Amino acid sequence: MSKVCQITGKRTRVGNNVSHANNKTKRKFYPNLQKKKFFLESEGVWVELKVSTKAMRTINKKGLDATLVQAARKGTLSL
Average pLDDT over residues 52-56: 96
Domain membership of residue 8 (yes or no) is no
Per-residue model confidence as pLDDT tens digits over 17-53: 999 999 999 999 999 999 999 999 999 999 999 999 9
**Rounded Cα gap, residues 67 and 79, in angstroms:** 14
pLDDT value at residue 76: 85
In a domain, 43, yes or no: yes
**CA distance to 14, 24, 50, per residue, from 21 (Å):** 21, 9, 38
Tell which residue, 66, 8, 58, 75, has the closest CA to residue 40.
66
Assigned domain for 1 exists: no
Task: Locate the DSSP E strands across 1-79.
Answer: 13-18, 24-29, 33-40, 45-52
Q: Residue 54 belongs to a domain with what CATH number?
A: 2.30.170.40
> How many folded domains does the chain comprise?
1
Q: Is 42 inside a domain boundary?
A: yes
**pLDDT mean across residues, the chain:** 93
Q: Tell me the residue range of the domain where 31 lies.
A: 13-74
Mark 19-56 as b/e (b = at least 16 C-beta within 10 Å): eeeeeeeeeeeebebeeeebeeeeeeeeeebbbbeebb
